[in-house]
Amino acid sequence: MKRRAFITLIGGAAVAWPLAARAQQAERVWRIGVLMATAENDPETQHRLAALRDGLQKLGWPEGRNLRSEYRWGENDLDRMRAGADELAALKPEVIFAAPTSALVAMHRATSTIPIVFAQVADPVAGGLVASNSRPGGNITGFATYEHAVGLKWVELLKQIAPQITRIAILYDPEQPAAAGYVAAIEAAARPFSVRVVPGAVNDAAGIERTIAAFAGEPNGGLILPPTAFTVAHRALIISLAMRYRLPNIFALRYNVVEGGLASYGVDNIDLYRRAAQYVDRILNGEKPDDLPIQFADKFELVINLKTAKALGLDIPIPVLARTDEVIE
């Protein structure tokens, strides 16, 4: 072969190789595992996932083109959630998204090497899921809601809306990882108000009915429902029982009030799912979870359902209405 022809051949190969490599990279389909604690057919769950997918698409990761998602659904069953976490870990995707707290706990148990991004988790440091908010350590990072001390706001709001209340029932599933922190915070917050807290540990629909019926047997009671997968799964039943027994009720998230709850104070959790897409993107582009600090929600909202208030015989005080972000009539 002539020297000029050989040089031309080598030069052409040198140019073609990076082009081929870039094309191969562009054609790659990346895998993301998704573990949700709730059920696939839950409308609120799908609303949250739509926000995550929208965030990913805007960052160049449209599902079905260069991104494939493997979903597992906990359906408020911890054994099912752990099994789903083990299945996702065995698939070894590039990154796993988990929400809320109970799903993250299951993924934390299943893998210490695959990067995990979470959303809607309460106080991940106190839960032993990360080392610190600034340097998470290990393979986990994400977007937290708030610390358990938000329970003080729920107690204050309930007393402002229904001053006659002297007893507060907290409905929770003791197996839910975040539940104990919320109960302790609400109990501490209630003492200065001379309000007695009645923890209602339940794990199924029948338990909810029995607990609320027994609690309603005495006057001046109200309900606080911590934001766990359990209350998400049973929200329709809880709201209907609160109305039947005329119990003022406080939730953490807006959609419960839209569906008939009295009031909520909490974060814009849909925003957390959309923001979580940023960390998924950064990890897919080579960054490590330990370099991505935990971020907390920065959008809080107070929502009140006036129709429900009227049905419960409550007049919402003007100062409370003045600071309400959304009034549902």
Q: For residues 276 and 306, state if they share a domain.
A: no
Q: For residues 48 and 117, state if they share a domain.
A: yes
Specify whether the CB–CB gap between 82 and 304 falls below 8 A: no
Structural domain contains residue 7: no
d(CA 36, CA 44): 12
Q: For residues 158 and 252, state if they share a domain.
A: yes
Q: For residues 199 and 141, state if they share a domain.
A: no
Mean pLDDT for back-to-back runs of 10 residues, the chain (329 residues) = 43 45 61 96 94 97 94 93 97 97 96 97 90 94 88 95 96 86 92 94 94 96 91 93 97 95 94 96 96 91 97 96 95
Structural domain contains residue 250: yes
d(CA 159, CA 165): 6
Sort residue 105 into left (φ over 0), alpha (ψ -120 to 50) or beta: alpha
What pLDDT, on the 0 to 100 scale, is given for residue 26? 52
d(CA 282, CA 268): 23
Q: How far apart are the first and last CA of the chain?
A: 85
Q: For residues 104 and 179, state if they share a domain.
A: no
Specify whether the CB–CB gap between 154 and 182 falls below 8 A: no
Q: For residues 315 and 171, state if they share a domain.
A: yes
Taken in order 231, 238, 194, 306, the sign of the CA dihedral is positive
Q: For residues 101 and 206, state if they share a domain.
A: no
Structural domain contains residue 19: no
Q: Which amino acid is at 82?
A: R
Q: For residues 127 and 275, state if they share a domain.
A: yes
What is the value of pTM for the model shown? 0.83
Q: For residues 187 and 53, state if they share a domain.
A: no
Structural domain contains residue 15: no
Residue 100: CATH number of its domain: 3.40.50.2300
d(CA 212, CA 234): 13
d(CA 187, CA 152): 9
Specify whether the CB–CB gap between 118 and 142 falls below 8 A: yes
Specify whether the CB–CB gap between 36 and 103 falls below 8 A: yes
Domain ranges, residue 34: 28-145+268-299
Q: How many CB atoms lie within 10 A of CB 264?
A: 26
Structural domain contains residue 1: no
Torsion from C-alpha of 317, 320, 325, 329, nearest 10 degrees: -20
Structural domain contains residue 100: yes
What pLDDT, on the 0 to 100 scale, is given for residue 23? 43
Q: For residues 187 and 221, state if they share a domain.
A: yes
Structural domain contains residue 322: yes
Q: For residues 49 and 186, state if they share a domain.
A: no
Structural domain contains residue 10: no
Q: For residues 75 and 217, state if they share a domain.
A: no
Helix axes 179-190, 151-161, angle to 10 degrees: 50
Count the domains in the chain: 2
